[in-house]
Amino acid sequence: MQVLVLNSGSSSLKFQLFSMPNETILCSGLIERIGLDNGNFKFKTANDTIELATPIPNHKVGLELLAKQLLDGDTGIIKSADDIGVVGHRVVHGGKYFSDTTEITPEVKEKIKALSSLAPLHNPANLEGIEVAEAIFSNAKQVAVFDTAFHQSIPEKAYRYAIPREFSEKHSIRIYGFHGTSHKYVSEKAIAYLDKPKSKIITIHLGNGCSMTAIKDGKSIDHSLGFSPVNGLIMGTRCGDIDQSIIFYLAQKYDYSLQEINNLLQKKSGMLGLTGFSDLRDIQAEAANGNRDCQLALEMNTYRIKKYIGSYTAVLNGLDAIVFTAGIGENSSIIREMACEDLDFIGIDLDKEANNKREDGIRTISTRNSKVEVLVIPTNEELEIAKQSVSLFKD
């Protein structure tokens, strides 16, 4: 069975085509800088690597570009859209409706749409990907794998907010957690690598969206994102933790509408609001050239990560390893170094030489004397989504 996996982020779309169940990758790629003038399309097979720089105004245009390439007579990978049996979709917010992988129906799409107000940068893009895939791969089974599922193990003392009970019980206002597919995948890899099923691990997913999870014995017990994927760490365009009184202050003092405030905190804040850039590569380059706003943004970003490392070490009552993953976590040695500075009191001792090396696969970037392993583990949400999608249709 050929399984196409679509992983739509807020400004990117990763994809892989697998032959299952042997997990062979037939092609993979990335559509990034969606919504910007300098969009980029990368497509890789065993024989070819294609890269195209072109404006990609939205996810629909990106998916149409992917479909065209998959079916290309010379460099494509399939002869017909019917070659693909299953399309697995990452969907960010499942709310109270979805705790498991689910075959997509009109009713499922309506619920995903209804949850868009809780994940406005993601669920609309996820839904758009589903609808475009339904049109192009009309005979394939469409499957949703929800970011929130892995965090169902978070205990009530951690997922409840200190608001009247009726809001939790009647309106399902609670911490849901996100990036669950990634946190699940890399934590399982870390546990196998350490050969330690009984373990205390902090996974740090850093991309345009960022989150951290405290994982005890393979289960999520706390997480930095909450009811929606906007709080916690400083992200590409999202503010992360903020005093909620600021919302009322902007509304009452300066007559901002709720929509304007939501747009401000979701799409105009974070690293973009601090620097004018949302892409960390641009920010790091500017910081190296002496841009003080960019230097400060990097300091603020990594300071927030350190606060969560300290908090989750306390929650776990100890720490065996921290794991950096996702686009920034895997590729930014600067972020990793700054995030691990001055954490020797909990046993973290970074090997700067190892940290600066670029290598494939799982790698340790802490010294031999470090009491806590510092790992870089490439996430593979797409493989995890493919496996879960296929599992729905096993006899």
pLDDT number for residue 128:
86
Is residue 126 part of an annotated ligand binding site? no
Mean pLDDT of 258-264: 95
How far apart CA 148 and CA 216 sit, in angstroms, is 17
What pLDDT, in 10s, does the model give residues 243-252? 999 999 999 9
- Estimate to the nearest angstrom the gap between the alpha carbon of 325 and the chain centroid: 9
How far apart CA 98 and CA 96 sit, in angstroms, is 6
pLDDT number for residue 182:
93
Nearest residue to 283 (alpha-carbon basis) of 267, 293, 294, 299: 294
Give percent above pLDDT 90 in the chain: 74
Question: Do the Cβ atoms of 55 and 112 come closer than 8 Å?
Answer: no
Give percent above pLDDT 70 in the chain: 100
Beta bridge partners of 28: 16, 44
pLDDT number for residue 395:
58
Instruction: Provide the sign of the torsion angle of the four alpha carbons 102, 106, 108, 113, taken in this order.
Output: positive
State yes or no: pLDDT of 35 exceeds 90: no
Is residue 318 part of an annotated ligand binding site? no
What pLDDT, in 10s, does the model give residues 100-117? 899 999 999 999 999 888
Mean pLDDT of 345-368: 95
Is residue 34 part of an annotated ligand binding site? no
What pLDDT, in 10s, does the model give residues 198-214? 999 999 999 989 999 99
Is residue 276 part of an annotated ligand binding site? no
- Estimate to the nearest angstrom the gap between the alpha carbon of 283 and the chain centroid: 20
Is residue 327 part of an annotated ligand binding site? yes
Concerning whether 147 is annotated as a catalytic residue, the answer is: yes
Task: Considering the candidates 147, 243, 255, 282, report the single residue annotated as catalytic.
Answer: 147
C-alpha distance from residue 70 to each of 15, 26, 77, 223, 322 (Å): 11, 10, 5, 37, 37
How far apart CA 194 and CA 320 sit, in angstroms, is 9
Is residue 330 part of an annotated ligand binding site? yes
How far apart CA 395 and CA 391 sit, in angstroms, is 9
State yes or no: pLDDT of 394 exceeds 80: no
Burial 322-360 (b: 16+ CB within 10 A, else e): bbbbbbbbbbbbbbbebbbeebeeebbebbeebbeeeee
Helix, strand, coil in percent for the chain, rounding step 5: 40, 20, 40
Contacts of 345-350 with C-beta under 8 Å, sequence gap 24+, read 346/309, 346/310, 346/313, 346/319, 346/371, 346/372, 347/319, 347/371, 347/372, 348/309, 348/322, 348/372, 348/374, 350/374
Mean pLDDT of 6-14: 82
Write down the pTM of the prediction: 0.84
Question: Do the Cβ atoms of 1 and 390 come closer than 8 Å?
Answer: yes
Does 21 sit behind a cis peptide bond, omega within 30 degrees of 0 on the bond before it?
A: yes
Instruction: Provide the sign of the torsion angle of the four alpha carbons 114, 123, 279, 308, taken in this order.
Output: positive
Domains contained in the chain, CATH given: 2-146 (3.30.420.40), 197-376 (3.30.420.40)
Question: Do the Cβ atoms of 125 and 10 come closer than 8 Å?
Answer: yes
Is residue 207 part of an annotated ligand binding site? yes
